[in-house]
Structure 1
Amino acid sequence: MTHRVEQTTDPAAFLALAGEHLAADPVLSTVVSTTLGRAVDDPQRPEHPRWWAAVLDGDHVVGVGMRTAPFRPYPLYLLPMSEDAARALGGHLVATGEDVAHANGARASVEVVLGVLAEARGGGARVLEHDRLWEATRVVAPTGVRGSSRRATEADLDLVTAWCQAFMPEADRQAGRPPREGEGEHLDREWAADRVGHGLVWLWEVDGEVVHLTAHSATSFGVSRIGPVYTPAEHRGHGYAAALVAEVTDRILAAGDRACLFTDVDNPVSNGVYARIGYEPQTEMVRMELVEAGALTTPGPA
């Protein structure tokens, strides 16, 4: 089987090329489709790398990857595809000299593409983090949780920004890892203002004090993705995350859309919370990086 790769910096062109492929499994493609949708709405080119690539067999798209992350080290993001398709994409990146050393996404795809790059560069690849994609088709709401929800407003922007930027570094610490360089830096005030402005951030209050935040993405191909989900350390253990994620998920489902989220496999707290309120695991994901051959003697988390 012969594959070819088409790469573009034009989000509208890529949507026309790969939209049908993305829509075929919109939960699996949620990160690509939401990123693509935002880029179509705001096509101004950022300073960081931003492109999309489709692997084609004849006229049919059989694999999708992108490099659009606005945070260091600007990793690839890869959807599930066959080994042959992943090898074709990896070979394309070698041929074009793409300066990439990190990838996130479907585990098998990431392993193959980074394997091709590692072979070409004389090094290896190691796992940084195991993630999992979940979907909820029903909600089991917790009972007896104090407080109530409300949408975040512009008056909450300082708090929303601070909590969103704390989310990823603290998630690393909960999973037993030191925070990585650049982790969460893209969840800045501009990001928060956009989400708040579109009504995508919810807060949980107890006696007038905000104790938890749950955000979600705009709907793309009928899917909305929950995250970030953040509770400050002093308010954890009271069920606030479960209560608000369940409520926001129920709102998404009631609107006729599908709800999904990602978890870090090494964080037992979040995995347990989401399983209890009705989320079911769908796909194993991974974050990996290229390393020099000698560095493989000190691997990351397995």
Structure 2
Amino acid sequence: MELRFFDHPEDFLTMAGEVLAGQPVLSTVIAGVAERIREQREAGVAWPEGVPCWFVVVLDGNDIVGTAMRTAPFGEYPAYLMPMPDEAVHLLSKTLLARDEPVLGANGALPSVQVFCEDMAAATGKQAKIGQHTRLFELGDLVEPRPTAGRLRPGRLDEQPLIGSWYAAFMVDADEQAGREPGESPHESPTDEELARRIGTGRVFVWADEDDTPVNVTAATMPAYGVSRIGPVYTPKEQRGRGYASAAVYAVSKLLRDSGERPCLFTDQANPTSNKIYEAIGYRPLVDMANLRVE
């Protein structure tokens, strides 16, 4: 087996694009991130200093048997792994350690991330710990939820401070709901400039009540190989239990599907409420994933 590393996402997409396009829902994160970084670089947006940025293709002869990346700008800068043979995972771990790049966390497909983090733990005298079990869902037959007061509309730039605070609260509240310590799961909060860009693309929505006051934020990524990922979905505590999340996810999902896109989303397996909401709308589980830390 052979590894080929890429510092530039366009080179990675040129080599791996056909494979990613062949499984576009499973590839939603790695393909979407590569496309986003490519677009940002073309727009002159500088990569954060000190944050790793590489993509890798695993070759077995002429066949691509795995892909991975390290671009996350949070926590210990975890890697992201797609499904690959254990032999490929061991080669990736060994190669990174040989170039003095221990990676103390990984997200993505099981069992690859488990094997990877166990390799890193063994090499650093630490332990691999699963921080979050996630599940990737794809929309099947869309089912309309019960009527909910209000309407979906794009978020506005003048609402950015509120939307930004909800982005920041999203994973903290998710940890609390799942029984983890609040803030235990590191995650990416977009910079002010990045959030403004996302709002400007029209892919950040709010559910507004009868007074046009936002009571939920639901975002969607730009499509990569025809697939768009919904998230985050956040309703502040004082507004929960009124159907806003179900209504917003349904409305965004319908918008995406009507535009010819394939909606998908991730859920936290430890949060049965959100899993139940999405399945009731018509989302069906595709694959289980996990976020692991080496500590």
The letter for the 2-side match of 1:285 is M
Q: Deviations over 1:257-283 (max 9, x none)?
A: 111000110011111100100001111
What is residue 103 of structure 2 aligned with on the other side? 100
Confirm whether residue 84 of structure 1 aligns to residue 84 of structure 2.
no
Number of residues paired by the alignment? 289
| Residue 33 in structure 1 maps to residue 35 in structure 2 | no
In the TM superposition, what whole-angstrom CA distance separates every residue of 1:151-209 from its partner, at most 9, and x where no partner exists?
A: 11112111111111111111111111113368345233223211100000111111212
Cα gap change, 1:184 to 1:120, in 2 (>3 Å): closer
Aligned to 1:300: none
User: % of aligned pairs identical?
Assistant: 43
Q: In the aligned structure 1, how far is the partner of 2:232 from the partner of 2:60?
A: 36
User: Following the alignment from structure 1 to structure 2, what is the Cα–Cα distance between the partners of residues 123 and 153?
Assistant: 45
Q: Secondary structure at the match of 2:68?
A: strand
The 2-side partners of 1:126 and 1:45 are apart by 29
One-letter amino acid of the structure 2 residue matched with residue 32 of structure 1: I
Quickly say closer, same or farther: Cα 1:182–1:144, change in 2 above 3 A: closer
Partner of 1:299: none
Deviations 1:34-82 (A, max 9, x none): 1100111122433111111111111222111111011122111111112
- CA contact under 8 A between 1:173 and 1:179: conserved in structure 2? yes
Structure 1 gap ranges (5+): 292-302
Kindly provide the CA deviation profile for residues 206-235 of structure 1, in whole angstroms up to 9, marking residues without a partner as x. 121211110010011100000010000000
3-state SS in 1 of match to 2:180: coil
Matched, 1:45 2:43: no
**Structure 2 regions of 5+ residues with no counterpart?**
none
1:99-118 map, 5 Å: 99-118=102-121
> Residue 15 of structure 1 aligns with which residue?
13
1:269 paired residue among 266, 269, 273: 273
Relative to structure 2, which stretch is displaced further, 270-279 or 67-76?
67-76
In the TM superposition, what is the alpha-carbon distance from 1:255 to its structure 2 partner? 1.3
CA distance in 2, matches of 1:41, 1:202: 22
State whether structure 2 residue 288 is matched by structure 1 residue 290: no
**Corresponding position: 1:231 with 2:235:** yes
What's 2:76 paired with?
73
- How do residues 168-247 of structure 1 correspond to structure 2 at under 5 angstroms? 168-180=171-183, 183-184=186-187, 186-208=189-211, 209-247=213-251
SS class of match (1:160):
helix
Report how far residue 85 of structure 1 moved.
Answer: 1.8
Alpha-carbon distance between aligned partners in 2 of 1:267 and 1:45, rounded to the nearest angstrom: 33
Answer whether contact 2:70 2:80 (CA < 8 A) is retained: yes
TM-score, length of structure 1 as denominator length: 0.92
2:22 to 21, 24, 34: 24
CA contact (8 A) 2:172 2:184 kept: no
Aligned counterpart, 1:296? none
RMSD: 1.5
